[in-house]
Amino acid sequence: MTGRGSGTPSGGDQGSGTTSFSERYAPPKPPRWRGLLSIETVQSVLTFLIAVGLIGLIGYLAWTSIERSGRLADPPARSASDVAVEPPGGSEVVELTSADGTVLSAWSTPAKAKKSKTAVILVHDAGGARTDLKRLAAALREEHDVMTLDLRGHGASADAATTLGPGEAEDVRAAIDAAVEQGNERIALVGVGLGASSVLAAAGGDSRVDGIVAVAPWPRVADAVSAQLRDDDVALAWPADWATLVAMLFRTGRDVTSADVMDTVTRTTAPILVVAGADDPLLPAATLRMLENLAPDLTTALVEGDRDAATAFVTKDDGIARIVDFIDASFKRDD
């Protein structure tokens, strides 16, 4: 018989305060804040942040490219004076059709002195019109027929997306065809800005072209787009410039880089005069030297100032005289 106070309590009767061996010697639980800094948690947070950043970047580039390509491709607003202005005396308005069916308007002005067998085609800058080149046209018509063209989406020509070169080159080719149909045997081209890129692209492989004046051309369209973005303080000018070029492809159906001057100068044997502003960032000395190496019959006329100073070359007496002399020499080269 067992006494009331004797013996040892059984395991099942142990007090609630008694702990097992595993519990007594288990390592302490880390504080909750340490779980938040685990490798897995940090990786998850970084993955989320990277995903959000990429989505934001893609969204920003998409918005920028859509907005910028709209500015570039949509025709500029045209004033009534550009559309309805009377042509110079003795001129007639002619209607041309570009390769893609775009209807173009041009002034055809015969030479004053005599029946000419030479014609000069004048092409304005982006956002301009044929009216910008009236003084140069007046000087050239003393000896040559002159055709002053409104590019697609400009002046009195039909609305169409601006393609930064390839479509406009087709417009220039339509003008060349018209000048030949009028009986001209030799053709010279003068272009400003977008017009400069267009005439160089149009002249490639065309033996009818005897001389080219390219005023303030864009060596590469991508550089011109990037410079515009930087001038407007647009964040991430690169890669926003390339996103804009891709958007232009979708808007216009054209590879707008296909008329890059750095490529087209190699496709013609006609003499070329490039007019550049000494402070034009798109045409630094190194780029001009490269152009001269690519096209051995290319010479450069430097103008004091920036790109705007170069484009004004076609409105000033000394600039007009230089262009007339160059074209006259081009026509006489093989005589």
Q: Cα Rg for the chain, rounded, in angstroms?
A: 35
Q: Is the pLDDT of residue 126 over 80?
A: yes
Across 37-51, 92-106, 208-222, 289-303, least confident range: 37-51
Buried b (16+ CB within 10 A) or exposed e, 289-316: eebbeebebbeebbbeeebebbbbbbee
SS (H, E, C) the chain: CCCCCCCCCCHHHCCCCCCCHHHHHCCCCCCHHHHHCCHHHHHHHHHHHHHHHHHHHHHHHHHHHHHHHHHHHCCCCCCHHHHHCCCCCCCEEEEEECCCCCEEEEEEECCCCCCCCEEEEEECCCCCCHHHHHHHHHHHCCCCEEEEEECCCCCCCCCCCCCCCHHHHHHHHHHHHHHHHCCCCEEEEEEECHHHHHHHHHHCCCCCEEEEEEECCCCCHHHHHHHHHHHCCCCCHHHHHHHHHHHHHHHHCCCHHHHCHHHHHHHCCCCEEEEEECCCCCCCHHHHHHHHHHCCCEEEEEECCCHHHHHHHHHCHHHHHHHHHHHHHHHHCCC
Q: Quick one: pLDDT at residue 276?
A: 97
pLDDT of residue 296: 86
Q: How confident is the model at residue 8 (pLDDT cuts 50, 70, 90)?
A: very low
Confidence of residue 164 (pLDDT cuts 50, 70, 90): very high
Cβ proximity of 122 and 148 under 8 Å:
yes
The arithmetic mean of pLDDT across residues 126-140, rounded, is 94
Kindly report the average pLDDT of the chain as a whole number.
Answer: 89
The dotted CATH code for 85-220+260-332 is: 3.40.50.1820
Question: Which pLDDT does position 33 carry in this prediction?
Answer: 58
pLDDT tens track for 100-122: 999 999 999 999 977 889 999 99
Lowest-pLDDT range, 68-72, 80-84, 105-109, 142-146?
80-84
Q: pTM for the complete prediction?
A: 0.85
The residue extents of the domains of the chain are 85-220+260-332
The residue type of 11 is G
Q: Please give the Cα distance from 301 to 204 (Å, whole number).
A: 22
Range 222-228 average pLDDT: 93
